[in-house]
Amino acid sequence: MTRFSLLRVLRPLAAAALISFALVVPGHAETVTPLVSTGWLKQHLTDANVLVLDVRSAIDGGGAEAFAKGHVPGAIHSDYDKAGWRVTRNGVPFMLPTPAELEKLIGELGIDEDTHVVVVPAGVHFTDFGSAARTYWTLKVAGVPQVSILDGGYAAWAAAQNATETGASKAVTEIFTATLNKALFVDAREVEAIERDGRATLVDARPASFYAGKEKAPAAQGYGHIPGAVSLDSATFYDPATNRLRPQAELAALATTAVPVGPTVA
C-alpha cells in the first residue's frame, strides 16, 4: 500500500473519536465521559486523580507562549505539534508513536494508568478540536483508560470567567507502561483486507475536496481516496458559531449522510 493510502487510513481516526464523544450517553455521576463541560471541570479541578492537559500549539495559533499567558489552574502543557503525539516513520508522517515513545511522552507529563486526563484544546477552530481528538485517541490506545476532552476548550473556560493561571508548567514524572489497545487501530494490511472483502466501512474524515480529488494535503502522495471509503468531513461536526461540537441529533444525522463521490486511488 502506498504512503498516500496509509495516510488516508490514519487520518479518519479523529472523526471516529469525534462521533463517539457526541453519542456517549451519560451514566452514573462518577462515569468518565469522553466530553466534559467547563462546569464539570471546575467542580473536579482539585480531584487528586484529575490532570488537565493543555495541548495548544501552532495549529491553533498558540503553544507554550499562549499557555504561559493564561491556562486552566494546575494544567500541564504539551504542544500537540511538537511534543511527539504524531511521528514520522519510514518517511510516513503523522504515525502513532512506538510503545517506548508513548511511555516517555505520557509518563513525563505526570500521567499513569490511574490518571483521569482532561484534554484542553484552544477552542477556536475545528482543527484544534481535531488535535484534542487525536490526543484523546493516542492516550486511549496507549492504555490510559480515563480520558475526556473539555467541551469548548480553553476559550470556553475563560469565557465562563473561571480562574486562570499564568506562567509555565512543570509535571512530576510518573512511570507509565504502555499497553496498546489494538481494538482502536488498524495497520495498512488490515485496511487492504477490509477494502477487499468489505467487512467494515472505511470512513475518510478529511475535507470533502481532498476526498473528491480536487486538492490534496501537503503530505499526501496523490489525489483521491481509498476505493469504497465514504466521506465524512470532520469539520462538519464542529459548530463555528459556538466553537463546540454540534448537538447529538445533528451529529447522528451527519453520520448517516456519508456517501462516496469523486475519484478513488489504488
Are 37 and 126 within one domain?
yes
CATH assignment of the domain containing 230: 3.40.250.10
Mean pLDDT over all residues of the chain? 86
More confident call, 87 vs 8: 87
Domain count within the chain: 2
Per-residue confidence (pLDDT) for residue 199, from 0 to 100: 79
Same-domain check for residues 71 and 153:
yes
Q: For residue range 224-265, list pLDDT tens digits in order.
A: 988 888 888 888 888 988 888 888 888 888 877 765 555 665
Report how far residue 206's alpha carbon sits from residue 19's, in angstroms, rounded to the nearest whole number: 14
- Do 121 and 43 have their domain in common? yes
Residues 137 and 37 in one domain: yes
Q: State the burial class of residue 106 (Cβ atoms within 10 Å of its Cβ: 0-12, 13-18, 19+).
A: buried
For residues 154 and 222, state if they share a domain: no
Dump pLDDT digits (tens) for 144-194.
999 999 999 999 999 999 999 999 999 999 999 999 999 998 888 888 888
> 140, 159, 178: which is the final residue of a domain?
159
Contact assessment for residue 228 and residue 204, using Cβ atoms and an 8 Å cutoff:
no
In a domain, 89, yes or no: yes
Using CA atoms, how far apart are residues 219 and 225, in angstroms rounded to an integer? 14
Is residue 90 assigned to a domain? Answer: yes
For position 262, what pLDDT does the model report?
Answer: 59
> DSSP string covering 183-245, please?
GG---HHHHHHHHHH--S--EE-S-HHHHTTS---TT-SSSS--TT-EE--GGGGEETTTTEE
**148 and 55 part of one domain:** yes
On whether both 155 and 36 belong to a single domain, the answer is yes
Q: Rounded to whole angstroms, how far apart are CA atoms 153 and 120? A: 5
What gap in Å lies between CA 41 and CA 46, rounded to an integer? 9
Question: Does residue 132 share a domain with residue 48?
Answer: yes
Q: What is the pTM of this model?
A: 0.86
At 25, the pLDDT band (50, 70, 90 cuts) reads very low
Q: What is the pLDDT of residue 27?
A: 37
Residue 124 falls within a domain, yes or no? yes
Distance of CA 96 to the CA centre of its chain: 12
Residue 9 lies in a domain: no
Does residue 210 share a domain with residue 120?
no
Residue 91 domain-assigned (yes or no): yes
The strand pairing partners of 52, in sequence order, are: 118
Q: Is residue 264 part of a domain?
A: no
- Is 231 in the same domain as 129? no
Examine residue 62 and state whether it is found in any structural domain, yes or no.
yes
Query: Is 151 found in the same domain as 53?
Result: yes
> Whole domain around residue 205: which residue ranges?
186-255
If you average pLDDT over residues 200-208, what whole number do you get?
86
Does residue 38 share a domain with residue 155? Answer: yes
Residue 71 lies in a domain: yes
Q: Which pLDDT score is estimated for 218?
A: 79
Region of poorest pLDDT, from 100-104, 164-168, 208-212: 208-212
